[in-house]
Structure 1
């Protein structure tokens, strides 16, 4: 992936965030899209946009949405079933985003990426230019998901954590925020112990605290979030993990409140 070239933050009047919304943050325990919860997140993003923030969303939820429509109670193992879920669920997810953001005066723009797109210099640059143009238009919010309908290996793991890190590096974000169904990195890999509020460096001890997800509708867990922190950290971008269902979570982060776990970038240590 392209290394971050220079620090553009000083020249921006407002911060640029990449916000990753995990499946557990967007869905009910039964796997249906959680409309009241998604509305709350949309309203928070829209409020920041109204203050000048530049926002790129990396949204999971397509497979989980498709699972409900196709009648799956558990995340299927077969690639073709996962891809079918994504094909059915992605339009429903985007239709909901468009309706909710339109109520707040904004429009969404869908970008579906694969890791092949990120590995190609030409495709990478095309995606970057497209997002820069959309962000410059102010009323558009890019919503990115992995193109699960054509992806193969990548669909099995990651839940967009690593994709969001590569997108944050691509657009030279000021911060990557991962909103999940966990409140942050905990001391124990079983989800117990206190939340670690600040990680200055990803050590073997920090990696040992990571645990895999236990959800039937999500993949990745803390392991891939730490991998994402490593990717953006090397590009000079901090990353914050927080509970997407905490009231006003994005406003709290914008106001500098201590929420979840903040991973510092290499240049901030």
Structure 2
């Protein structure tokens, strides 16, 4: 049986420097996910990008900063983003299913179980790819602080994933805060030193930065799920991870590789 992955696509790898959707890049990522699906992988996609999708229609040339503007972009952009995913995946024989979650949903036992059962049913059908985003129109936790990093960890725990993969515009956790800093390939345990490294890592095109990714690794690790951070713009990155190539940073969970 092939693994079950939760793959999180961050704002930085779905958008141009101005904040609009990067259509050629999205197509490349869809091709990789569809390839793995065709080989039997079970994939749950946690996707940012709704705000970038709505910016053009609302006339923004750059990503806005006010919460109400971001939420308006998300309201306009979410259906556009899903239409794009459906178009690209259907060309490859798959379909998408949208789930919008808030942290209130995750806190409610009944709502949590309902979402869990829905995802399991979709995965069992084989041809569907659940696409999850925070419901940004009514909840702004992730668009303000985390770019779906922590949400993806909670989803990984919900579906009992074999691995959480966060594809970002950074190649992994660096020892120091510059592009020359060495990538740490393996984190066996999240220590104060690791947290300090993450706290120094920032990116203009990423909402959450490395700190929320390390927090996501902590959440996933608590559920026994390893997490990998990798550069989503690296060629065939998901194939490389599936083949066991040493890319990015792998956070272990209880010794589980």
TM-score (norm 1): 0.91
The answer to whether the 8 A contact 2:157-2:223 is kept is: yes
Choose the corresponding residue for 1:184, options 172, 178, 195.
172
Q: Deviations over 1:4-63 (max 9, x none)?
A: xxxxxxxxx110000000011111112221111111111111110111100000000111
Choose the corresponding residue for 1:213, options 192, 202, 211.
202
Between the aligned partners of 1:106 and 1:55, the Cα distance in structure 2 is 12
The verdict on how the C-alpha distance between 1:152 and 1:23 changes in structure 2, with shifts beyond 3 A counting, is: closer
Between the aligned partners of 1:82 and 1:36, the Cα distance in structure 2 is 24
The equivalent residue for 1:106 is 94
State the secondary structure of the residue aligned to 2:167. Answer: strand
Q: Which runs of 4+ in 1 moved over 4 A?
A: none
RMSD (Å) for aligned C-alpha atoms: 1.4
Choose the corresponding residue for 2:77, options 89, 99, 102.
89
Q: 1:188, CA displacement in angstroms? A: 1.1
Alignment of 1:1-269 (within 5 A): 13-210=1-198, 211-215=200-204, 218-268=206-256
The answer to whether the 8 A contact 1:66-1:86 is kept is: yes
Q: Deviations over 1:87-126 (max 9, x none)?
A: 1111111111000000000000000000000000000000
Unaligned runs of 5+ in 2: none
Between the aligned partners of 2:142 and 2:21, the Cα distance in structure 1 is 23
Q: 1:212, CA displacement in angstroms? A: 4.8
State the secondary structure of the residue aligned to 1:129. Answer: helix
Between the aligned partners of 1:266 and 1:64, the Cα distance in structure 2 is 37
The answer to whether the 8 A contact 2:19-2:63 is kept is: no
Q: 1:190, CA displacement in angstroms? A: 4.3
Between the aligned partners of 1:101 and 1:212, the Cα distance in structure 2 is 33
State the secondary structure of the residue aligned to 1:209. Answer: helix
The verdict on how the C-alpha distance between 1:21 and 1:192 changes in structure 2, with shifts beyond 3 A counting, is: same
Q: 1:71, CA displacement in angstroms? A: 3.0
Q: 1:154, CA displacement in angstroms? A: 4.2
State the secondary structure of the residue aligned to 2:77. Answer: helix
The equivalent residue for 1:8 is none
Q: Deviations over 1:170-227 (max 9, x none)?
A: 0000000000000000111345411100000100111111135332x53111000000
Moved more, 87-96 or 166-175: 87-96
Unaligned runs of 5+ in 1: 1-12
Q: 1:78, CA displacement in angstroms? A: 2.4
Between the aligned partners of 1:73 and 1:187, the Cα distance in structure 2 is 35
Q: 1:74, CA displacement in angstroms? A: 4.1
TM-score (norm 2): 0.95
